Amino acid sequence: MSKRAHLIYNPEKECMSRDELHALQSSRLAETVRREYECVPMYRARMDEKGIRPEDIHGVEDLQYLPFMEKTDLRDYYPFELLACPRSEIVRIQGSSGTTGKPIVSGYTRNDVDVWSEMMARTLTAAGCTKDDTVQVAYGLGLFTGGFGAYQGADRIGAMVVPMSSGNTQRQIMMMKDLGVTLLCCTPSYATFLGETIREMGLVPGKDLKLKAGCFGAEPWTEEMRVHLEELLGIDACDIYGLTEIAGPGVAFNCLEKNGMHINEDHVIAEIIDPATGKQLPYGEKGELVFTTITKTGMPMIRYRTHDICSLTDERCACGRTTARMSRITGRTDDMLIIRGVNVFPSQIETVLIRTQGVAPHYMLIADRVNHSDTLEVQVEMTEDMFSDTVAHIENVRRYITEQIKSVVGISTKVTLMAPKAMPRSEGKAKRVIDNRKL
Ligand code: ADP
Ligand code: ZN
């Protein structure tokens, strides 16, 4: 894509020396732990159990001695028991899409909303956003953090915000065209749907639309999908990462180098652990991402296990930022399917599908158990061209995909080619997996 200049929202914080950053993180961590110990009985009990006192925590290197926090804690102490401040200090509640049981809610103080807005302002700026831009927010606006996060970041920059929320696809595109929207924020799966619809409406990105960049996140997507979206929409497609428990979107973001996501390390500390043993892993190794918030005052999180799999690097980036970067998320431990003993992530299958001519990036994985053995069906949609091709050619493509999956993932699957438009379209987070074995 176009080589645009790197813009940095807060160079003082984003380009600090690593030593300075380490010192800042250390003092903020010590303060966070002290406050958490004093104000959150659950965490105090957990530290007492391990025999750790707040004064034992001097810096980042002591993080490894602290107990973890988990998603189940947010359910067990729902809704307010993890607050580290009086309830009257909370100015906002956001919640996660939480697919099962009680939703997960997080309380934000004025400070927390400000910090989050700052992180999102950095995120959008890294994608090239300035006050002259028009930003369409097509993430859901509501309890889900996506919409408000993008809104707050664009507002902080002083850009013109179009708060569409998700859905109503034709209208989204009409506004995009009429208002000359330059930056789109939504999930990558919704961006695919929008892109397809734009084409179907006979509009040509670059000619009829002014879009230059997209900040896409909230769900796992592959490098192949990114390239696909850049071509489909004629934009720079940037990955953005976040989660309700830590702040919302903007915890980490791509700069235009798109070589990993810069972590807002003056506000959070990232670690990678071995998910089985809980031991810290060095930079470069893949494992479970763990975050500690160091400026949050409403509901601080210490060593929060995200269940997201990635690696970290602190190699210098050409953009000038000094912050460490996290790799693309290859999957969530909870999305990982174990098929006949083999670990399968939807992203591996997505990579194969997008590289294949004749199929569209709309797919679903369906796991089942037949005669005590696991089965995996991959349903993927054909393009219009492919659909009208010969039966023999369609069968060849089907066989090709089966072989590719076998060689990349190592398992046999049943590949089913679906008619164009047969798969459900997503306006928010796409559902890619149905595991009938769990029902
Ligand atoms: P949930 O999806 O658990 O209901 P959230 O809306 O807070 O709650 O989503 C946070 C999760 O979304 C992350 O833990 C991660 O699994 C996923 N996610 C967010 N951004 C990305 C991204 N850029 N790439 C991959 N996964 C992401
Ligand atoms: Zn960079």
Q: pLDDT for 252-263, tens place per residue?
A: 999 999 999 999
Q: Which fold has domain 337-435?
A: GMP Synthetase; Chain A, domain 3 (3.30.300)
104 φ/ψ angles, rounded to the nearest 5 degrees: -105, 125
Per-residue pLDDT tens for 71-80? 999 989 999 9
Ligand in nearest proximity to the CA of 95:
1
Q: What is the pLDDT of residue 331?
A: 82
Q: How confident is the model at residue 96 (pLDDT cuts 50, 70, 90)?
A: confident
Per-residue pLDDT tens for 44-56? 999 999 999 999 9
Per-residue pLDDT tens for 132-158? 999 999 999 999 999 999 999 999 999
Q: Whose CA is nearest to atom 20 of ligand 1?
A: 218
Q: 11-16+96-332 maps to which CATH number?
A: 3.40.50.12780
Q: Whose CA is nearest to atom 2 of ligand 1?
A: 97
Q: What is the pLDDT of residue 2?
A: 53
**Ligand 1 shell residues, CB under 6 Å:** 96-98, 144, 217-220, 239-244, 306, 308, 329, 332
What does the alpha-carbon distance between residue 302 and residue 246 come to, in Å, rounded to a whole number? 10
Is the pTM above the cut of 0.85?
yes
Per-residue pLDDT tens for 184-233? 999 999 999 999 999 999 999 999 999 999 999 999 999 999 999 999 99
| 438: pLDDT strictly greater than 80 | no
Q: How confident is the model at residue 19 (pLDDT cuts 50, 70, 90)?
A: very high
Specify the residue for token string 């670059």.
206
Q: Is residue 411 a contact partner of residue 376, using CB atoms and an 8 Å limit?
A: yes
Question: Which of 74, 99, 308, 330 to mutate for ligand 1's pocket (most ligand atoms within 8 Å of CB)?
Answer: 308
Q: How confident is the model at residue 3 (pLDDT cuts 50, 70, 90)?
A: confident
User: What residues does each domain of the chain span?
Assistant: 11-16+96-332, 337-435
Cα-to-centroid distance, 307 and ligand 1 (Å): 10
Q: How confident is the model at residue 439 (pLDDT cuts 50, 70, 90)?
A: low
Question: Which of 305, 329, 433 to mutate for ligand 1's pocket (most ligand atoms within 8 Å of CB)?
Answer: 329
